[in-house]
């Protein structure tokens, strides 16, 4: 009996039953995943076609390269015939489904070759992209030329300019290392652009979403525009909540920058930032209102990625970094504190990024970077006060915003002082 079973399964090392079964099962799962999405989208090619295509890819990869190439050719011909039929019948082209079919075959081939992670990850991403057609269509309908240029510039900055920059200090005082500094600028620009895209998609869902997403892009600009637009929309009572949510988002963004660029300093900044976030969240929750007919709000913040804005940010970042380095050399801790406060009045993101970069170069300690991040965040929230005061004349509202800002500053500085005292 055992010899008969051995002959049935075969003795070829290329086809071990357990491994082959796993490969075919994964290929089938990939085909089912993509196929169900196409079936749900009411396409002619659905679950069965995509499942069989994935299995075909896996089987041809196991057999030989010539057979795999024949399978690829057959899949492409099937996609072409699908488009020819649709052109004749309805003057439309099923381009997305055709490409998805070819991608499914390639993922099956990868599975047959044993590349499980790559094939499964790509299948999930492909299905996600296919399912987002309504969102992409809605977003693309409102895309502006400036936003397209922003995306192109971001790619230019990250993949063209960065490799051309020297990876060494270019001055005898060891103040400027262009490639390392440019990486930081690009990271901050990417974070700002992603937040801007989220604001464009979700930024009209009431005060909460608008304030948080606007604060992630530019907290000062968001607070200024919200304090001007809320009274005009009859929502002046929501000003405290909106301003505090922009501050909360700014604290969170600076914490994320610190995690990405200066992880060693996170332990010194996390408690003060969390305390300030908790105070901002408390005041936002305290002044919440449930409206029977909520009004849409829209922030008209410009894209953070443009030649002028990235240049200004880069120059500001370099200035803070150079002045910060010199201040540390000449003044020690006092120099870091001074530069943090001054930088926060202009851009807390630039100051946080510059401090983290100085840490990476070994010019300041992690404790100094954590302190700089907290102080620059406090300075940024303080800058909201005169801006909001220009638009809001209600004393009770301004009193609440001032109280929240003072409590945030006291909490942050107190925790910083305790950390510096006990961590000496």
Yes or no: say if 158 and 151 are a contact pair by the CB < 8 Å rule.
no
Which helix (H) or strand (E) is 211 found in, with range?
A: helix 206-232
Instruction: Check residue 157 and give its pLDDT.
Output: 81
CA distance 119 to 96: 19
Enumerate the H helices of 332-362 as residue ranges: 333-346, 348-360
Distance CA 261, CA 256 (A): 9
Q: Are 93 and 41 in contact (CB under 8 A)?
A: no
CB atoms within 10 A of CB 361: 15
Nearest alpha carbon to residue 348 among 328, 331, 373, 324: 373
pLDDT tens digit sequence for 60-73: 998 888 899 999 99
Least Cα distance to 285 among 394, 396, 340, 211 occurs for: 211
Give dist(CA 162, CA 364) in Å, integer.
25
Distances (CA, A) of 327 to 322, 331, 333: 8, 5, 8
Cβ pair 239, 230 in contact under 8 A: yes
What pLDDT is stored for residue 247 in this prediction?
Answer: 94
What distance in Å separates the CA atoms of residue 80 and residue 61, rounded to the nearest whole number? 22
Place of tokens 């200090």: 169
Helical pair 239-261 and 348-360, crossing angle rounded to 10 deg: 20
- Give 69's DSSP letter: H
Q: Provide the total of helices (H) and of strands (E) in the chain, helices listed first.
A: 18, 0
3-class SS of residue 332: coil
The C-alpha atoms of residue 204 and residue 299 are separated, in whole angstroms, by: 8
CB 226 within 8 A of CB 392: no
Query: How far apart, in whole angstroms, are the C-alpha atoms of residue 174 and residue 171?
Result: 6
Cα torsion angle, 84, 90, 94, 98, sign: negative
CA 114 – CA 80 distance, rounded (Å): 29
- Distance, CA of 254 to CA of 269 (rounded, Å): 10
Kindly report the pTM of this predicted structure: 0.68
Predicted confidence at residue 293, as pLDDT, reads 40
d(CA 400, CA 392): 12
Cβ 247 vs Cβ 219: under 8 Å: yes
Rounded to the nearest 5°, which phi and psi values hold at 91?
Answer: 60, 30
pLDDT of residue 289: 65
d(C-alpha 303, C-alpha 218), whole Å: 10
Q: What is the pLDDT of residue 402?
A: 94
Query: For the chain, which residues score pLDDT lower than 50?
Result: 1, 290-294
Alpha carbons 174 and 208: distance in angstroms, whole number: 45
């Amino acid at each position: 009996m055992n010899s008969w079973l051995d002959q049935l399964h075969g003795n070829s090392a290329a086809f071990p039953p357990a491994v082959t079964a796993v490969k075919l099962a994964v290929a089938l799962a990939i085909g089912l995943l993509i196929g169900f999405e196409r079936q749900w989208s009411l396409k002619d090619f659905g679950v069965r076609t995509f499942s069989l295509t994935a299995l075909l890819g896996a089987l041809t990869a196991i057999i030989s390269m010539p057979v795999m190439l024949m399978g690829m050719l057959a899949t492409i011909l099937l996609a072409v015939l699908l488009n020819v039929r649709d052109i004749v019948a309805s003057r439309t082209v099923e381009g997305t489904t055709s490409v998805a079919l070819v991608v499914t075959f390639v993922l099956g081939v990868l599975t047959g070759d044993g590349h499980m992670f790559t094939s499964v990850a790509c299948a999930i991403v492909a299905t996600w992209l296919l399912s987002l057609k309504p969102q992409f269509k809605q977003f693309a309908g409102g895309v502006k030329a400036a936003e397209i240029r922003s995306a192109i510039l971001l790619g230019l900055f990250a993949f063209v300019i960065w490799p051309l920059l020297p990876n060494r200090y270019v001055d005898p005082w060891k103040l400027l290392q262009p490639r390392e500094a440019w990486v930081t600028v690009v990271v901050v620009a990417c974070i700002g652009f992603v937040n801007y895209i989220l604001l464009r998609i979700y930024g009209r869902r009431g005060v909460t979403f608008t304030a948080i997403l606007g604060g992630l892009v530019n907290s000062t600009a968001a607070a200024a525009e919200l304090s001007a637009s809320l009274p005009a929309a009859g929502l002046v009572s929501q000003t405290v909540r909106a301003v505090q949510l922009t501050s909360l988002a700014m604290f969170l963004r600076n914490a994320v920058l610190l995690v990405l660029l200066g992880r060693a300093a996170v332990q010194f900044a996390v408690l003060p930032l969390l305390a300030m976030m908790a105070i901002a969240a408390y005041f936002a929750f305290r002044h919440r209102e449930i409206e029977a007919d909520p009004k849409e709000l829209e922030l008209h913040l410009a894209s953070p990625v443009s030649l002028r804005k990235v240049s200004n940010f880069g120059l500001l970042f370099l200035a803070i970094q150079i002045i910060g380095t010199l201040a540390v050399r000449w003044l020690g801790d006092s120099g870091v504190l001074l530069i943090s406060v001054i930088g926060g009045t202009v851009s807390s993101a630039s100051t946080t990024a510059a401090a983290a970069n100085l840490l990476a170069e070994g010019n300041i300690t992690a404790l100094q970077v954590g302190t700089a991040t907290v102080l620059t965040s406090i300075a940024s929230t303080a800058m909201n006060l005169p801006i909001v005061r220009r638009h809001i004349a209600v004393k009770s509202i301004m009193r609440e915003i001032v109280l929240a800002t003072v409590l945030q500053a006291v909490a942050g500085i107190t925790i910083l002082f305790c950390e510096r005292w006990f961590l000496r």
